Chain A
Amino acid sequence: MKKILAKEEYCMGCRLCEIYCATAHSKSKNIIKTFKSEGGKILSAIIFEEKDSLSFALQCRHCEDAPCIQACLTAAMYKNKSGVVLYNKEKCIGCWMCIMVCPFGVIKPNLKDKKVASKCDFCVEHERPYCVENCPNEALVIMEVDN
């Protein structure tokens, strides 16, 4: 399975990955429109961790035997044919089983709407994930990993 991975020693902490993630999942796919006219607030599928000089971005690892799929009460979490873990917002009821079992902690809950707020979809609608494509220091890379 191809995974998006982070090289923490290359991450400059610019957080452009989050900006581009939000853009990739916006209506316009246009960075300015995304943040100016489409509502603006960043809701990326990336968990960005930062402390002092250390930083990195984390996304869904699209695990082979994905715990979130196994635990999901409604089959809202599922895998597409290429092995990407996706979720169906309609089916999600906010039971938070996925939050409970995801070892990477990369699924964000929306406690108000009782839905999974966001998780990485590997930019299935695009050729390559926006975060990787736009990481200025190549700290985010795509690699083939067993499992």
Chain B
Amino acid sequence: MRYLIIGFSTAAVSAIKSIRKVDPKNEIVVFSEEDRLYSRPLISYYLAGKIKDDNLNFVDEKFEEQYNVKVFYSTKVISVDVKNKVVKTEKNEVVKYDKLLICSGSVPIIPQIKGIRDNIEGIFTFTKLNDAKNLLKYIYENKIKNAVILGGGLIGIKVAEGLLARGIKFKIVDIAERLLSNTFDEIASKYLEEKLEENGCQFVKCNTIVELGIKNKKLVYVKLKDGSKITTNLLIIAVGVRPNVDFIKDSGIKINKGILVDEYMRTNIENIFAAGDVVESKNSILDENSVIPIWPVAAEQGRIAGLNMAGEAEVYNGLYPMNSIEILDIPSISFGITNVNPQDDKYKIIVRQEKKVYKKIVLRSGKVVGVILVGNIERAGIFKLLIDKKVDVSNFEDELLKDNFGFLVLPKDFRKHLVMMTEEVPM
């Protein structure tokens, strides 16, 4: 019996840990496109020079040995044959599986821009370690002092963080009206935009790049929709990612935006599971399927998939977007639905706004469904608990934004369960 895993990042690692909890014996084989294991979200810290190459791992050095896993690096899987239960690699190897986990992650979206071609110097995406390495090399070799980032979402902001640390000024161009438009609300975005401007960077809103200026195969300027030009030798494309599903398009595995899975992380094909960025799964706040390409979701889905592959029946309850972003020394954490129309009476919004602290809670039927914390993130996880446990907070909603917010304000029974955790059975 062989478990085969496509992709080797946090979903795979969590799955392997789960499988080994139940099944210490059977073979686990992993195919990874990359030449090593590393923590993807760390590439912005790497770009910023805050972490070294040899600290990018997120598991113990002896992981493969410890969990008895055989990993084939730099080996891209190009197709899955669900009938014969085999996968085919780029090197034309055909490998049999009994249980398959697809956690092939996501790939950057490349928008249609006039002049864009593969062999032009100065254009980068930013999702892999090699992207960060190539970018750094380019910055040094060309003594880059300014850049353009296309996209003011999470990836764009992460790139921005890295570039700032390298002393590079930049303009962020985004079609949206504000930065982090999916994660933040208007006020929170404003904190970020002001801070960037204080540091000599600019946000070009409601605009996009329509053409690249190229000289000797090198980027020299970008032309925007409004006709203006920005002179630069460096463009980072950060408009988002999409599930990496091209290699299974014709396999019979059901795909919408991402691979569709049920509550056990099973695809429509028997013995094939999927987890992480590649998956479209339950968003527990919206109660619909969505692709949520973030680390903690991938880790949790991998954990569930692994258990179920090994024969357990663990249910995935769904998750929702959540992010921790720190830029220019302003920490922020957000959960769930952060942007609602104040006119929409399905939702109630409570807000606390000060010079350096912004907190916003979105309530629906008395329950927390969205949170933004800027400047003060202490005890943020309790909000996640309130969301996950669907706690009715209507009796103490005024307490949620106070500095001393904590378990004290929770309903007594719920609190005692957390503080005491058990009936008394002293040791």
A73 touches which of B41, B60, B418 (Cβ 8 Å): B41
Smallest CB-CB separation from B422: which chain A residue?
A145
Q: Contacts A49-B407, A96-B331 given; indicate if A74 touches B296 (C-beta within 8 A).
A: no
By the criterion CB–CB under 8 Å, are B419 and A111 in contact? Answer: no
Q: Contacts A75-B58, A105-B382, A109-B377 given; indicate if A58 touches B407 (C-beta within 8 A).
A: yes
By the criterion CB–CB under 8 Å, are A51 and B378 in contact? Answer: no
Q: Contacts A8-B419, A70-B299 given; indicate if A105 touches B324 (C-beta within 8 A).
A: no
Chain A 67-101 against B: per-residue CB contact (8 Å), 1 yes, 0 no? 10011111100000000000000010111110111
By the criterion CB–CB under 8 Å, are B384 and A100 in contact? Answer: yes
By the criterion CB–CB under 8 Å, are B322 and A100 in contact? Answer: yes
By the criterion CB–CB under 8 Å, are B420 and A75 in contact? Answer: no
B125 within 8 A of A: no
Residues on the B chain within 8 Å of A141, using CB: 426
With A and B bound together, what is the CA distance between A16 and B408 in angstroms?
Answer: 19
Smallest CB-CB separation from B56: which chain A residue?
A74
By the criterion CB–CB under 8 Å, are B426 and A143 in contact? Answer: yes
CB interface residues, B 30-55, toward A, < 8 Å: 39, 41-42, 45, 50-51, 55
Q: Contacts A96-B324, A99-B381, A144-B425 given; indicate if A74 touches B404 (C-beta within 8 A).
A: no
With A and B bound together, what is the CA distance between A115 and B296 in angstroms?
Answer: 19
By the criterion CB–CB under 8 Å, are A74 and B381 in contact? Answer: no
Chain B 68-99 against A: per-residue CB contact (8 Å), 1 yes, 0 no? 00000000000000000000000000000000
Residues on the B chain within 8 Å of A107, using CB: 381
By the criterion CB–CB under 8 Å, are B408 and A70 in contact? Answer: no
By the criterion CB–CB under 8 Å, are A71 and B296 in contact? Answer: yes
With A and B bound together, what is the CA distance between A5 and B381 in angstroms?
Answer: 19
By the criterion CB–CB under 8 Å, are A109 and B378 in contact? Answer: yes
With A and B bound together, what is the CA distance between A34 and B42 in angstroms?
Answer: 36
Smallest CB-CB separation from B296: which chain A residue?
A71
A142 within 8 A of B: yes
CB interface residues, B 382-427, toward A, < 8 Å: 382, 384-385, 388, 404, 406-408, 416, 418-422, 424-427
Smallest CB-CB separation from A107: which chain B residue?
B381
Residues on the B chain within 8 Å of A104, using CB: 381-382, 385, 407, 418
B318 to chain A, nearest CB (A): 15
Residues on the A chain within 8 Å of B404, using CB: 49, 51
Residues on the B chain within 8 Å of A58, using CB: 406-407, 419
By the criterion CB–CB under 8 Å, are B406 and A49 in contact? Answer: yes
Q: Contacts A3-B421, A8-B419, A49-B407 given; indicate if A99 touches B380 (C-beta within 8 A).
A: yes
Residues on the A chain within 8 Å of B60, using CB: 75
By the criterion CB–CB under 8 Å, are A70 and B296 in contact? Answer: yes
With A and B bound together, what is the CA distance between A114 and B388 in angstroms?
Answer: 28
Q: Contacts A49-B404, A71-B299, A143-B425 given; indicate if A96 touches B377 (C-beta within 8 A).
A: yes
B42 touches which of A47, A73, A96, A114 (Cβ 8 Å): A73
Q: Contacts A74-B58, A95-B41, A144-B427 given; indicate if A50 touches B418 (C-beta within 8 A).
A: no
Residues on the A chain within 8 Å of B323, using CB: 100
A7 within 8 A of B: yes
A60 to chain B, nearest CB (A): 12
Q: Contacts A70-B300, A71-B299 given; indicate if A95 touches B58 (C-beta within 8 A).
A: no
With A and B bound together, what is the CA distance between A141 and B419 in angstroms?
Answer: 11
B295 within 8 A of A: yes
By the criterion CB–CB under 8 Å, are A100 and B380 in contact? Answer: yes
A54 within 8 A of B: yes
With A and B bound together, what is the CA distance between A70 and B380 in angstroms?
Answer: 16
Residues on the B chain within 8 Å of A96, using CB: 324, 326, 331, 333, 377, 380
By the criterion CB–CB under 8 Å, are B303 and A65 in contact? Answer: yes
Residues on the A chain within 8 Å of B424, using CB: 143
Residues on the B chain within 8 Å of A12, using CB: none
By the criterion CB–CB under 8 Å, are B420 and A95 in contact? Answer: no
By the criterion CB–CB under 8 Å, are A5 and B41 in contact? Answer: no
By the criterion CB–CB under 8 Å, are A75 and B57 in contact? Answer: yes
Chain A 97-130 against B: per-residue CB contact (8 Å), 1 yes, 0 no? 1011111110111010010000000000000000
B14 within 8 A of A: yes
B324 touches which of A54, A61, A95, A111 (Cβ 8 Å): A95
With A and B bound together, what is the CA distance between A66 and B53 in angstroms?
Answer: 27
A20 within 8 A of B: no
By the criterion CB–CB under 8 Å, are A71 and B58 in contact? Answer: no
With A and B bound together, what is the CA distance between A63 and B416 in angstroms?
Answer: 17
9 A-B residue pairs with Cβ-Cβ distance under 8 Å, sorted by A, are A6-B420, A51-B408, A61-B421, A95-B41, A100-B296, A101-B322, A103-B382, A104-B407, A144-B425
